[in-house]
Amino acid sequence: MEPYISKDLVHTIMKPGATAQELWTRLEELFHDNKHTRAVYLEQQFAHIKLEYYANMSDCCKQIKLLADQLANVDCPISDRKMVMKLIVGLTKGEYDTVATIVSQSEPTPRFNKARSMFLLEETRQKKQEESSQQALVAQTSQAQPSPSSSLTNHQSTTDQQRDGGGRGKGCGRGNNNKPKGLGKGRGNNNNN
């Protein structure tokens, strides 16, 4: 922190002929007048903290700690236990249920930093598990789809089979591969052999 106050505050507290003690007292009064209003505002912010409003668990924990520190500065300290309970209550359903149960049933309730570490480790574990699942899905998908070169090889061998008379397709019909094309007893053929 800087060892001086802003120009706006100087202009607010300045009084011609005032002593340093009088100026300090005026400054102190100014801050104490806002203390109750500020405490109400900070309590409201603290009450509405939820994980879903933050990018990750770390950001949520930072906000809980920041507001707890600010509340302590206006003579409304928040206990570690209340910070931990706020963290648990603000969780989204299902994401951290196991860790939340462990933390909430621990006797005594873990300190905020300990609970924070437990939730951050769980978040890291979940992210790694999600990454592994995505990698497995990509690998599975790439194995299920033939590569362009194998599909070209399959097409080429099918064409070779059809040309050589094997496989299905436009051939001589069933069973008699020795008969020349067009001489069978099919429709539109009036040859009586």
Give 92-132 pLDDT, tens digit per residue. 888 899 999 999 999 999 999 999 999 999 999 999 988 88
Query: 79-109 in b/e burial notation, b at 16+ Cβ within 10 A?
Result: ebeebbbbbbebbeeebbeebbeebeeeeeb
d(CA 72, CA 166): 87
Mean pLDDT across 70-91: 94
**Distance (Å, whole) CA 60 – CA 58:** 5
Cα 66 to chain centroid, rounded: 22
Residue 190: pLDDT band by 50, 70, 90 thresholds? Answer: low
Report the SS3 class of residue 67. helix
CB of 111 closer than 8 Å to CB of 104:
no
Task: Name the 3-class secondary structure at 76.
Answer: coil
Which region among 7-11, 66-70, 148-152 has the lowest average model confidence (pLDDT)? 148-152
Amino acid letter, residue 191 = N
pTM: 0.56
pLDDT at 155 over 80: no
Higher pLDDT, 139 or 16: 16
Question: Which region, left, alpha or beta, applies to residue 5 given φ > 0 means left and ψ of -120 to 50 means alpha?
Answer: beta
